[in-house]
Amino acid sequence: MDWAVFATIAVPAGTAGLLMAIPSRHRDVVRYVALMSGSSLFILSLIIFGKYQFDDGGYAFELQLDWLGNVAFLGEKGITYHLAVDGIAAPLVLLTGIVIFAGVFMSWNIEYRNKDFFILLFLMVGGVYGVFESVDLFFLFFFYELAVLPMYLLIAVWGSSTDFGTFVRTKEYGAMKLVLYLVAGSVLIFIAIFATFVEAGQGSFDLPVLGSVTYGENFQKTFFPFFMLGFGVLAGLWPFHTWSPDGHVAAPTAVSMLHAGVLMKLGAFGILRVGMSLFPEGAAFWAPVLMTLGVTGALYGAISAMAQRDLKYMVGYSSVSHMGYVLMGLATMNEIGINGAVLQMFAHGVMTALMFAMVGAIYDQAHARDMTIFGGLSRNMPRHASYWAVAGLSSLGLPGLAGFVAEFHIFVGTFQADYIWAGALGILAAAITATYILRMLAFAFFGPFNERWASLKEMRIGEQFGGAVLIFFIAFMGMWPMPFVDRIAATVSRLPGIT
Amino acid sequence: MGMDDAWLLPAVPAAAFAALLLFGKYLPRKGDWLAIGAIAASFALFIPVLADLLDEVGREGFAGVVSGTDWVEFDTFNLRLGFMVDQLAIVMLAVVTFVSTLIEIYSVGYMKGDPRYGWFFTAMTLFVTAMITLVLADNLLLLYVAWEGVGFCSYLLIGFWHERRSAAEAAKKAFITTRIGDVGLLIGIILLWREAGTFSIREIIEFAQDGGYSAEYLTTAVLFVFAGAVGKSAQFPLHVWLPDAMEGPTPVSALIHAATMVVAGVYLVARMMPLFVVADPVALDVVTAIGLTTVMLSATMAIVATDIKRVVAYSTMNSLGLMMVALGAHSVTAALFYLFVHGFFKALLFMGAGSVIHGTERQEVWELGGLARKMPLTALAFAVGTLAMIGIFPFSGFWAKDEIVNVAADELAWIVVAFLVFSIFLTAVYMTRLYLLVFTGRPRDDHAHEHAHEAPPVMSLPVLVLAALAVIAGFWAFDQVGRALGFPGGIGEFVFLDEAQEFAFPVVAAISSSLAAVGGMAFAYALWFGEAEQARQLGERFRPLYKLWKNRYYFDDAYQWAINNLVLVGGNVIAWFDRNVVNDTGVDGSAGLAVFSGFQMKFSQTGRLPNYALAIVMGVIILAIVFLAVRV
Amino acid sequence: MIPIQHFLVLSSILFSLGIYGVLARRSAVLILMSVELMLQAVSINFIAFAVYLAPEEFTGLIFAIFVITVAAAEVGLALAIVLRIYRNKATANVDEVDIMKW
């Protein structure tokens, strides 16, 4: 099954190539090609997740092709196309498969240059898979950029500009800010990668090789922040988070889903996979800072979300808040907390994708996102309302849904790591989450029916199906988290410097 | 079938819930039979569990039977899906399974014709699942899971008629208010875990009794846990949600907001009582103080409330406060005894009120009146419930309440006892007032009165069963009754904290509380019987007090003010800060700085070839000098 | 045999003259000529080193030929540009041509 990992990168790349060959007037052909590709990615991801043997938590599905070696400063295995999946990457690979599968359904109605849209979308997905699966820092960085850059066009061309009365957010602004921010983060990562390469002196960018070197304490302390901040930007690390709400507001539905659902995880994944596994002492030194920023983000995002009226802004800030939990989990530096962080990456990915899908579903019909102008929508759109409710309840940590399992692990880990104040504030942030979610539900879906929206109908069948897939995984993880915990815990317990 | 199979109790309604959720629409009668059947099956399964427990309970050192399986586990971390059956759980289970079976049957009549009839039963089934799980949980995590689950069901069912703005708001309020308490509960649970390294309730208690926690740490932790109980059991200062929760259908009020969910807080404190005992005495003082405050607040607010369901809701708060006071005197027996009988008579009161609402479609007591002739069965049942609530000999409330007064007199300050007796007087006043206004006197709304009709048998039968229980349940206090039923003795020998105690009739407590109760009834009779002119005059004379009570001590207003002026404004400030300071200044500002500096620096580009050539040459020379200097 | 220093001194004199010309001259054509001087100075260096240090190899000589070739191409291109500038601005004075900016 070694080809499965390679295929997850080859399929999106191939799809992008195939779509280029299709004349753009055949819109339906484009859609079905995208659907086929999305479904096969979904199945491949399920296979990878299911087949991953978690006995020892090591790499599986390994594939290593020589790319550049014995040249100048590079050793024999200088840069290799080294793909593998471990217990941390496996759930995230599955997450990517789920979100792109659902995302294709949510993008079904795009009419304007849908071929180009899907080409860029699949390029981005290929990049995302690449980051999760690369074990070579050079390719990891390459795929990281590949995942970020199509975002600019996707938002700037297919996004939407909104006038909020007191201020205006154009799609160009959102796209520009997002990409500049993430590229700025890349700069830090790039510096740190080369510093690591030179310090290790192994002439290789391969992570296992770099990981076998012990770095000096000062070196670790100096360069861990580069990874922490560089990847942290993409993870919505406070105070470098503002690209996220504005970017989401401008982005089209499927892009928001992928972006908040998967791309923000790349950042947290990078901190864990590169930063913490290479520099455990540096991570331990900077953990209090990361914890502080994480808990600040969690609270700050939740409070900001409470003040929003625009649905997308609310979901965008809730993403900042939930990614704050992920960073808290990473900062605990213990097994329970990091397990929780990875669980939260998955849980947040699925539920935020569902939320953005639902925002898109209502925006397509109503061309409005202000929750206060709706009212009683559950009369005409009962399914839509219940999907919202599931996503919202998961994000406020209702037991039985995915969010609870993850958040509980994080809180326990935080307390265990003696950040009692941070754990308490995190739990408080979860209560604030309840406030804004229920407020939104009460505004938009409950109460007397607002006749202005009498023309709104239930979601399209495709949207219902895509949403149902996401809900299935939210409930699955909430009820039976062991398949996830087994895989994650096996790998996390092998990480250096974890108590 | 024994205590090891206790997991079946929640599993059966859980399966029914899944079936109803997926296929409920296609089932005949929307599947109400499935819901009732599942819950009745739960009750049926409860009986062998009880029989098994009764066999075992006499054994030396019996402390419950634990069963279950792991849910999440890795390394040393272990979250169990574990169940524990002991005396405490059995008493709660009896109330939960039995009362919910009756209420589900009652709902068939009450909810008839509702467009979301099927959904009602689906949600009720989920509630019963969660409630049974809560009772059986052997570890704090599962307890928390079920705790949130019942809260969520409460949210769903309060907002059952969510087209009404008030119902949607009440549901939101209930969820958020209890959630504030749950923040404390979760913190408390994790604090307890942090030192003990386990979520198992029993192991935590053993750990505490072995002195594993320092006193301050344990006190802090149990007070956090108590915060959860405060939210769920509608204790001051998180009590504001319960009266509003009456927006839900009446069976919901009867089951969730009277008999079962709201007493979960009492149950939790009773479960953790060994921890409270080990902790600093301040913890129990807090429990007493909060309970007593709730009692006094609710009893006074009930006197001026005019919605029939709200009066009963305040009486629920009153009862919950009493149970907390009993726990404050670390008497698990008294609290659980009251909880047991309260489940019956409070459900009875709510269902009676539901029958009135069903028959007249009115809820305001000033629009009702003289219903005793039209609805004799309901009136009779309601009278039984009222007398039990007031605590008149020999109704069940009498025994339970006297037990509380008794332990309070033994353990607590005299001022607490005085307040308790006074609250019994107040209880008698408002309950009698309610009965008089609704069932006696002249009909105030002729239209409603004409259409009033007795409830159908499917509703009145459960009511009558409960009425019978409200009369006799209190006799469980006697050892002879307990032994005749197969228990080792009265409730005092079945549920206890340290050692079993035989029932002793508390003469002084009984006389003083009965005097207060009868006095209260007479007082209410004098004021409200007939045209209630005196009551109106009294209200005029004590206008400020009346307004204070009528406005619910301005708690709701104060909270609303705080939400509007502190929370929402705070949120807006943060959002403004994020947009204007972090984004427009920090982010756009740095972008602007780059643009500005680029604009300024472009003037260094003269465009003249000689300048560039000179720069190149100078650069080379400087580099050469640096190179040479470094080499040397 | 003439010592290598003689060639190096020659080439540095030529190179310095070239630099002086490039910096001090106003006429674009003269600047180009000065650039040629600099290039030839480098060529002399290449050849001298090639002969003195590695007489068996032709690397330095080949470089010199490259330099000559490139210089020829460069002069061709540069003169064309100068010609265009002269056509447009009626001057070949580099101080008056400052369009190479924002």
CB contact burial A27-36 (16+ within 10 A = b; e otherwise): eeebbebbbe
Show the DSSP H helices in B412-529 as ranges: 414-439, 446-451, 457-472, 479-484, 507-528
Contacts of residue B267, Cβ cutoff 8 Å, sequence gap at least 6: B88, B92, B134, B135, B339
> Is 90 exceeded by the pLDDT of residue C13?
yes
Residue C56 touches chain B, beta carbons under 8 Å = no
Average pLDDT over every residue of B431-441:
87
Indicate yes or no: CB of A242 within 8 angstroms of CB of B172. Answer: no
CA distance B251 to B339: 19
pLDDT at A1: 56
pLDDT in tens, B262-309: 999 999 999 999 899 888 889 999 999 999 999 999 999 998 888 888
Residue of chain C nearest B605, judged by CA positions? C101
pLDDT in tens, A408-447: 999 999 999 889 999 999 999 998 999 899 989 888 888 8
Residue C97 touches chain B, beta carbons under 8 Å = yes
Torsion over CA of A274, A278, A280 and A283, rounded to 10 degrees?
-40
Above pLDDT 70, what percent of chain A? 100
pLDDT at B70: 81
CB contact burial A155-194 (16+ within 10 A = b; e otherwise): bbbbbbebeeeeeebbbebbbbbbbbbbeebbebbbebbe
pLDDT at A124: 92
CA of B181, closest CA in chain A: separation in Å? Answer: 10
Task: Return residues 375-404 of A near B (CB < 8 Å).
Answer: 376, 378-379, 393, 396-400, 404
CA of B590, closest CA in chain C: separation in Å? Answer: 23
What's the mean pLDDT when you consider all of chain A?
Answer: 89
Indicate yes or no: CB of B574 within 8 angstroms of CB of A304. Answer: yes
pLDDT at B248: 87
Indicate yes or no: CB of B168 within 8 angstroms of CB of A379. Answer: no
Within 8 A of A379 by CB-CB distance, chain B residues are 163
pLDDT in tens, B473-486: 888 888 888 888 87
Above pLDDT 90, what percent of chain B? 22
Give strand pairing partners of B66: B84
Indicate yes or no: CB of B606 within 8 angstroms of CB of C31. Answer: no
CA of B586, closest CA in chain A: separation in Å? Answer: 10
Q: Is B210 exposed, middle or buried (0-12, 13-18, 19+ CB in 10 A)?
A: exposed
Average pLDDT over every residue of A477-492:
89
Show the DSSP H helices in B197-331 as ranges: 201-209, 215-232, 241-244, 250-254, 264-271, 273-278, 281-304, 308-328
Residue (of B147, B215, B217) closest to B188 by Cα position: B217
Cα-trace Rg, chain B = 31
Neighbours of B589 (CB within 10 A): 13
Question: C68 and C43 in contact (C-beta within 8 Å)?
Answer: yes
Q: How far is CA B135 from the centre of its chain?
A: 13
CA distance B341 to B400: 7
Pairing of strands A79-85, A60-68: antiparallel
**Which pairs with CB-CB distance under 8 Å and at least 24 residues apart come from C1-4?**
C4/C48, C4/C49, C4/C52
Residue listed under structure tokens 């500005």: B596
Q: For chain B, which chains pass the contact test of at least 3 CB pairs under 8 Å?
A: A, C
Within 8 A of B163 by CB-CB distance, chain A residues are 376, 379, 446-449
Nearest by CB to residue A303, choosing from B186, B194, B574, is: B574
What's the mean pLDDT when you consider all of chain B?
Answer: 87
Write down all domains in chain C, each with its CATH number in brackets: 4-89 (1.10.287.3510)
Question: A68 and A74 in contact (C-beta within 8 Å)?
Answer: yes
Residue of chain C nearest B617, judged by CA positions? C19
Within 8 A of B605 by CB-CB distance, chain C residues are 100-102
CB contact burial B233-246 (16+ within 10 A = b; e otherwise): bbbbbbbbbbbbbb
Are chains A and C touching, using the cut-off of 8 Å on CB pairs and a minimum of 3 such pairs?
Answer: no
Residue B58 touches chain C, beta carbons under 8 Å = no
pLDDT in tens, B510-550: 888 889 989 999 988 888 887 777 888 888 888 888 888 88
Residue B186 touches chain A, beta carbons under 8 Å = yes
Residue B595 touches chain C, beta carbons under 8 Å = no
Among B167-171, B396-400, B441-445, name the one with the lowest average pLDDT.
Answer: B441-445
Question: A410 and A337 in contact (C-beta within 8 Å)?
Answer: yes
Indicate yes or no: CB of B586 within 8 angstroms of CB of A239. Answer: yes
pLDDT in tens, B174-224: 999 999 999 999 999 999 998 888 888 888 998 998 888 888 899 999 999
Above pLDDT 70, what percent of chain B? 99
A475, B292, B389, B552 from B236: Cα distances, Å: 35, 9, 21, 12
Indicate yes or no: CB of B575 within 8 angstroms of CB of A304. Answer: yes
Residue C78 touches chain B, beta carbons under 8 Å = no
Indicate yes or no: CB of A423 within 8 angstroms of CB of B145. Answer: no
pLDDT in tens, B252-265: 988 888 888 899 99
Which amino acid is located at B82 in the chain? G
pLDDT at B618: 92
What SS3 state is found at A71? coil
What SS3 state is found at C56? coil
Q: What is the ipTM of this complex?
A: 0.91
pLDDT in tens, B443-469: 877 777 778 888 888 888 888 898 998
Among A322-326, B94-98, B492-496, name the one with the lowest average pLDDT.
Answer: B492-496
Within 8 A of A307 by CB-CB distance, chain B residues are 568, 571-572, 574-575
Residue B74 touches chain A, beta carbons under 8 Å = yes
pLDDT at A363: 87
Which amino acid is located at A452 in the chain? R
Nearest by CB to residue B190, choosing from A239, A378, A423, is: A423
Q: Is A370 exposed, middle or buried (0-12, 13-18, 19+ CB in 10 A)?
A: middle
pLDDT at C102: 66
Indicate yes or no: CB of B606 within 8 angstroms of CB of C94. Answer: no
Nearest by CB to residue B610, choosing from C23, C101, C102, is: C23
Average pLDDT over every residue of A350-366:
89
Q: How far apart are the first and last CA of chain B?
A: 94
pLDDT in tens, B35-63: 899 999 999 988 888 888 888 877 777 77
Within 8 A of C92 by CB-CB distance, chain B residues are none
Show the DSSP H helices in A367-419 as ranges: 382-395, 402-416
Residue (of B506, B513, B278, B518) closest to B406 by Cα position: B506
CA of A306, closest CA in chain B: separation in Å? Answer: 6
Which pTM value belongs to this model?
0.88
Task: Return residues 587-616 of B near A (CB < 8 Å).
Answer: 587, 591
B-C interface: how many C-beta pairs under 8 angstroms?
34
Residue (of B181, B355, B323) closest to B251 by Cα position: B355
Contacts of residue A94, Cβ cutoff 8 Å, sequence gap at least 6: A45, A46, A48, A49, A346
Residue A86 touches chain B, beta carbons under 8 Å = no
Average pLDDT over every residue of B577-588:
85
pLDDT in tens, B488-508: 777 777 888 777 777 777 788
